[in-house]
Amino acid sequence: MPYLDKLHRAQQANHSWVCLGLDPQPDRLPVAALKWDEPLLPFNRAIIDATADLVCAYKPNLGFYLQWGAAGVMALERTIAYIPDHIPVILDAKIGDIGHTQAAWGRGLFDVWNVDAVTVNPYVGEEAVRPLLAGRPDKAVYVLARTSNPGAQRFQGDLTAGDGLAAEVLRAAAEWAGPGDGHCGFVVGATYPAELAAARALAPAANFLIPGVGAQGGDLAAAVAHGPDAIAGPVINAGRSVLYASAGLDFAEATRAAALQMRDAINELRAH
């Protein structure tokens, strides 16, 4: 099934545009998870069990697992396998290598781990995207366009001006997926509402992965207004404010409540 169709089905089934970032942090893991010698997998399982009917995707970030070395990557591999098949998995690693190296990443992430989408850094140009999408109609990449951090503008420019690097990326990358290839979406931070509108105009058919709401203070209304493409809604990432809603014994229930609140806030905005 093409990626956008799978995403759309998950969004319909759970009536949700919420994507939950599965990013374990040693200083934020709840005490109830730290009782296990290797807390990552049991923590993730509890979170997934508590939210699988509320989200449209899960987004684990490789860096948060690799901080424990290969053991953390093993927990990530098993976490991905645990996620229900009908919920898309977006592997966030912002990979941006060239040619045969990027092809190796693609074999690992798409063919061995069978994730549905990966995030890609476009600095090196088209060689970062083509080896991942070629011949994989069921997969997708999310190319970084405008990131949500304060220092992003230095190189990425202002999307509303239309002539910076981020605008160039949005124009160029749409050409890099041919017929029979996977889908090329983009990462556009919610911290810059006017730029979300500009990004949608530059890439009308692309799915958007939107980080920066919640702890980073992004604009949920702009994400709802400019996020949807013709097939699916945007993937709005819920980060720390949802994953670490409680550090107590009720951590999974608290994450469920926070995810539900975010889902309903989005759906309320969609209804208007």
Does 175 interact with a copy of itself (rule: CB under 8 A)?
no
Q: How far is the CB of 109 from a copy of itself (least distance, A)?
A: 7
Does 108 interact with a copy of itself (rule: CB under 8 A)?
yes
Window of 61-69, 202-210, 219-227, 230-238 that interacts with a copy of itself by CB under 8 A? 61-69
DSSP, collapsed to helix, strand or coil, labels residue 220 as helix
Q: Which candidate, 178, 150, 172, places its Cα nearest to that of 186?
A: 172
Pick the binder of a copy of itself from 69, 230, 271, 272 (CB under 8 A). Answer: 69
Does 102 interact with a copy of itself (rule: CB under 8 A)?
yes
Q: Which candidate, 140, 72, 73, places its Cα nearest to that of 106?
A: 140
Residues 163, 166, 169, 171, Cα dihedral to 10° = -50
Does 44 interact with a copy of itself (rule: CB under 8 A)?
no
Pick the binder of a copy of itself from 37, 85, 154, 271 (CB under 8 A). Answer: 154
- The residue count of the chain comes to 272
Q: How far is the CB of 65 from a copy of itself (least distance, A)?
A: 8
Residue numbers 188-227 binding a copy of itself by CB under 8 A: none
Distance CA 143, CA 174 (A): 10
Does 184 interact with a copy of itself (rule: CB under 8 A)?
no
Q: Which residues contact 169 (CB under 8 A, 6 or more apart)?
A: 122, 143, 144, 145, 186
Extract the tokens encoding 193. Answer: 């509402």
94 is catalytic: yes
Q: Which candidate, 61, 119, 42, 49, places its Cα nearest to that of 87?
A: 49
User: Is 92 within 8 Å of 119 (Cβ atoms)?
Assistant: yes
Pick the binder of a copy of itself from 5, 149, 163, 268 (CB under 8 A). Answer: 149
Does 76 interact with a copy of itself (rule: CB under 8 A)?
yes
Q: How many chain residues are in contact with a copy of itself, going by CB under 8 A?
A: 53
State the catalytic residues: 94
